[in-house]
Structure 1
């Protein structure tokens, strides 16, 4: 009996260690979520030559999917309906609020109503017949519209599990993977031209670990015990990272197309080359990440050397070494 209980305890503790389950997971205190890796990358973007004024009228759920349920039909949506708010936050995170000037458009009617209230109150109590430009200046306008939405939510893209049992003692694990995909495009307000488009995806992982025992420990004495733990990556967190990745890609796609530029091209060159290598499938994402971390912490000359390696060259003199003019 002691052996069975010890095995169950060890499996349970190993599950807690593997999935990082502790008292904080069950705490009811409010907390501020930690920054995601994609948010950190957005914050570290070099400043632009000049900020872009953008507007987001809506960034909604275009999948039309409902949350999957084993009990039957449910009216809950598969993804959050607040993707527009997440996009605005991601735009402000780009370069620590240096890349985009975001104007309010999603709740534009509320903004106009409030300005009308201000105008009527000043007219009633101050006798103003004309709009005071100092008290109520003109609204900012955007040069670029950002549109798109959540275009895909695929469930059970990867499923599997494993288990084993011996003499009534057993353990098993199962996993499942979903994928959420977002689409983001930049549209010129002046001409209506679609300037660039970006698509980003993020997987959502779910895992479970279970252990059980079923054996006789004495005559007519049966021990039966079960324990398990399940972890599910929040859908909202996965969508947030996908949107942040799309904004990051939008910035670098625009730089690559010369729609906008970094204030210091040398500072943004290694980021652009690493993004293009990832986009074109020339390097695995982990290799690109390693190269970029080395480039960001290296002196300027080493940054240029890292850029050349990502291009596939040995250095600025590679052509001469190969006998080219």
Structure 2
């Protein structure tokens, strides 16, 4: 057996855990027609490094692969019924591979070699990015000590802000725009106790742990909420519609009911 198989602390790889927002997004009723969309880039625009009170940290606080997260969320929306996502994020390898295929066919079959079908194009361009990361937005703690025995708890919350907009490729007009926020929490629990074992001997014991919410999962949920809200903005503005209007209306009412609790800020451009 390998060393990792014998390691009792080694955990197997697993799929990314689903979020509550992701479950709701996957259950969306299908649209009347699938939307052809493209994502060229979805960058981290915050420029924030990981917070550290002791030394300068050069690692980024947030994922630099948010475009991959957005593409994954789009392909799963409504169990894959909502979007046809065309590859634009890393287009050069795709074009190069198509050129290799065409060259190979021409070498094998000559001038009568069949051509590849044209690339699928998108009618809607999705743009935006991670526009905010507010660390230590709220901090606090509580603790007590009595006769050498005590415990304290400290917490911190950070806020991630994601912006997403749909742009018409034909006109360049911004069809809809949404901004969402996601709060991530960090908690530290520490306890200690001491007693005199003898006149000149002190026995002390400490115990503690720290729990940090994964920032990447926070970004994913913020993106999921943005896609969810963008779909409904398009429905409200008659840009696209549900195949089953009654089921769509039920989801619309649920979104409006929970809009304030979900902390969605929606900006719709004027026509």
TM-score by length of 1: 0.75
The structural deviation recorded for 1:275 is 1.7
> How many correspondences in the alignment?
256
Q: Does 1:36 align with 2:16?
A: no
Q: Report the equivalent of 1:106.
A: 89
Choose from 78, 87, 100 the match for 1:117: 100
Q: Which has the higher helix share?
A: 1
Give the Cα separation in 2 of the matches to 1:32 and 1:244: 17
State the distance in 2 between where 1:126 and 1:211 align.
76
- 1:274 paired to 2:254: yes
Aligned match of 1:72: 55
1:218 is displaced (CA, Å) by 3.8
Could you list the per-position Cα deviations for residues 238-295 of structure 1 after superposition, in whole angstroms to 9, with x for gaps in the alignment? 000000000000111110111000001100112112223444x4xx459xxxxxxxxx
Residue 213 of structure 1 deviates from its aligned partner by 0.7
Q: What RMSD in Å do the two structures reach over aligned CA positions?
A: 1.7
Within the candidate set 196, 199, 202, 1:216 is matched to 196
Tell me, in whole angstroms, the C-alpha distance in 1 between the residues paired with 2:54 and 2:93: 40
**Shift of residue 95, structure 1, vs aligned partner:** 0.6
Match of 2:235 among 248, 255, 264: 255
C-alpha distance in 2, partners of 1:259/1:52?
A: 10
CA-CA distance at 1:44 after TM superposition: 0.4
> Cα distance 1:161–1:26, how it changes in 2: closer, same or farther (>3 A)?
farther
Task: Give ranges in structure 1 of 5+ residues lacking alignment.
Answer: 1-24, 287-325
Q: Hey, what does 2:267 align to over in structure 1?
A: none
Q: 1 CA distance for matches of 2:213 and 2:61? A: 14
More strand by share: 2
Higher normalized contact order (CA 8 Å, seq sep 6+, divided by chain length): 2
- Structure 2: distance between partners of 1:26 and 1:155: 31
The match for 1:126 among 94, 102, 109 is: 109
Separation (CA, whole Å) in 1 of partners of 2:152 and 2:126: 46
Counterparts of 1:130 and 1:187, CA distance in 2? 40
Unmatched tracts of structure 2, length 5 or more: 1-7, 264-271
Taking a change above 3 Å as real, the CA distance of residues 285 and 81 of structure 1, as seen in their structure-2 partners, is closer
Q: 1:267 is paired with a residue of what secondary structure?
A: helix
**Aligned equivalent of 1:61:** 44
Secondary structure of the residue aligned to 1:96 is helix
CA contact (8 A) 2:105 2:114 kept: no
The counterpart of 2:139, out of the listed 122, 136, 159, is 159
User: How far apart are 1:130 and its partner, in Å?
Assistant: 6.0
Describe the SS at the equivalent of 1:78: coil
TM-score (norm 2): 0.90
State the structure with more CA Rg.
Answer: 1
Tell me the distance in 1 between the aligned counterparts of 2:9 and 2:187: 18
Distance in 1 between residues matched to 2:36 and 2:208, nearest whole Å: 51
**Alpha-carbon distance, 1:164 to partner:** 0.3
For residue 226 of structure 2, the aligned residue among 246, 266, 277 is 246
Q: What whole-Å deviation, never above 9, does each CA across 1:70-113 have from its counterpart, x for those lacking one?
A: 33222211110000000001101111110000000000111111
